Amino acid sequence: MLPENTSFSEALASTIEKAGVFATLTIQDAADAVPVAKALIKGGITAIELVMRTEAAPEALRQIVTEVPEMLSGIGTLLSPDQVDQVCQIGGDYGVSPGLNPSVVKQAQSLNFPFAPGIATPSEIETAVGLGCRILKIFPAEPLGGVNYLKAMNAPYKHLNLRYMPLGGLSEDNMRSWLELPEILAIGGSWIAGGNLIAAKDWDEIARRAERAVAIFNEVRG
């Protein structure tokens, strides 16, 4: 059951849930954007979180939106209202952040831009819910305490039907346990297309990692 009163439309939330796994990308050279996106598509990954931590990120997003339109382009590390404006103009599909900044949430809402703030504590969940958010990023998911931490933290809010996207410390080895939780909308991580693989232009290995992640997702939720 998808949550109500979320900035994510039911269609978009459903698309993210069906994608199941998204690759977190840190791109230093915009020329790598399209090749890495195509490698992920080849392996079956249809969603990304392109982090806004490098000078190349806006141009990388622009190229992926234009040349790989089948990729669902989520944008990460949105820390200011200005960044929300920028990614909306380029054409990002939705945004996330590592933490909860009310000014960023409100700017996204003013632009009707789907946005999931980051949470790590019950107080942050309540603040996010008070701002109208029902889809949340839990970060850093594994260092916080992993699946057991989320289950315990979410217990008082289960009746709200909140959905979570965990990032931080996820891997091929532990992704299954996260996907088994019904409150998980989709999972993400950098292990699929890490910066070292992108720098080495190892598109084949990225495609292989994507394929393995999708296979695990299909085993759990297929």
Question: Which residues are annotated as catalytic?
Answer: 49, 137
List b or e across 153-192, with b for residues whose CB sees 16 or more CB atoms inside 10 angstroms. Answer: bbeeeeeeebbbbbbbbbeeebbeebbeeebbbbbbbbbb
Place of tokens 């990120």: 57
Residue type, 141: A
Q: Helix, strand, coil shares of the chain as percentages rounded to 5? A: 50, 15, 35
**Longest Cα–Cα distance in the chain:** 46
DSSP letter for 50, please: E
CA-CA distances (angstroms) from residue 86 to 117, 118, 214?
A: 17, 20, 31
